[in-house]
Amino acid sequence: MNKFLISLLLIGLAMTASTTGADAAPDPENILVLEVKSGEIIIEMLPDVAPNHVARIRELTREGFYDGIVFHRVMEGFMAQTGDPTGTGTGGSGQNLDAEFTREPFLRGTLGMARSQSPNSADSQFFITFDTAQFLDGQYTVWGRVIGGMENVDQIKKAPTGSRSGTVEDPDKIIRMRVKADIQE
């Protein structure tokens, strides 16, 4: 009889875990809505992977920091980078973050923090990968993933073919970025 009760308990726990796990709707505090000219990009932030980066991105988003900032570096098949208020790739918010490197892979639609040679130099700049970029794994902080609107990421204006720097002339911009919890439906 004890084995039967234990089996029922384990089945009940497994059923509860499956309904509160990956199938559960993400917390609106951890969802960003990034608007570009072609539409919305829905981003799930990963506080369990990079808590300090997620907190800072959320803070900057709520301040309106990202609104109007351009995608200054966009390379076909690689990534679209934004988050520099100067639009040159050299600026930021003025607050560096310590790296939060994990085994989280860079797949299509992964968001990572841009940085200089120093691992602890990430600030406000981030990028969205167009494709898998395994060479970045463990080298850059992963803090989110696109869960909707990847077709809008694909439409971001790219640098000319063959451009090694990825610098975009007359670049697309973030129209507005908001935390979903702050959006009044």
Task: Summarize pLDDT for 120-176 with one digit per residue, the tens.
Answer: 999 999 999 999 999 999 999 999 999 999 999 999 999 998 888 999 999 999 999
Q: Considering the entire predicted model, what is its pTM?
A: 0.86
Residue 185 has pLDDT above 90, yes or no: no
Residue 18 has pLDDT above 60, yes or no: no
Task: Summarize pLDDT for 70-88 with one digit per residue, the tens.
Answer: 999 999 999 999 999 999 9
DSSP state of 139: T
- Tokens linked to 161: 């073919």
Residues 6+ positions from 113 with CB-CB distance below 8 Å = 50, 53, 97, 122, 125, 126, 127, 140, 141, 143
pLDDT band at 22 (very low <50, low <70, confident <90, very high): low
Torsion of CA 185, 172, 63, 35, to 10 degrees: 10
108-125: average pLDDT: 97
Coil vs helix vs strand at 14: helix
38-62: average pLDDT: 98
- Tokens linked to 17: 């875990």
Query: Residue 184 corresponds to which amino acid?
Result: Q
Bigger pLDDT: 119 vs 18: 119
In CATH, the architecture of 25-182 is Beta Barrel (2.40)
Q: Which of 78, 62, 136 is nearest to 106 (CA)?
A: 136
Burial class (CB in 10 A: 0-12, 13-18, 19+), 81: buried
pLDDT band at 3 (very low <50, low <70, confident <90, very high): low
What kind and span of H or E run contains 56?
helix 51-62
pLDDT band at 1 (very low <50, low <70, confident <90, very high): very low
**The dihedral sign for the CA sequence 23, 25, 29, 31:** positive
Residues 6+ positions from 100 with CB-CB distance below 8 Å = 49, 50, 51, 52, 53, 141, 143
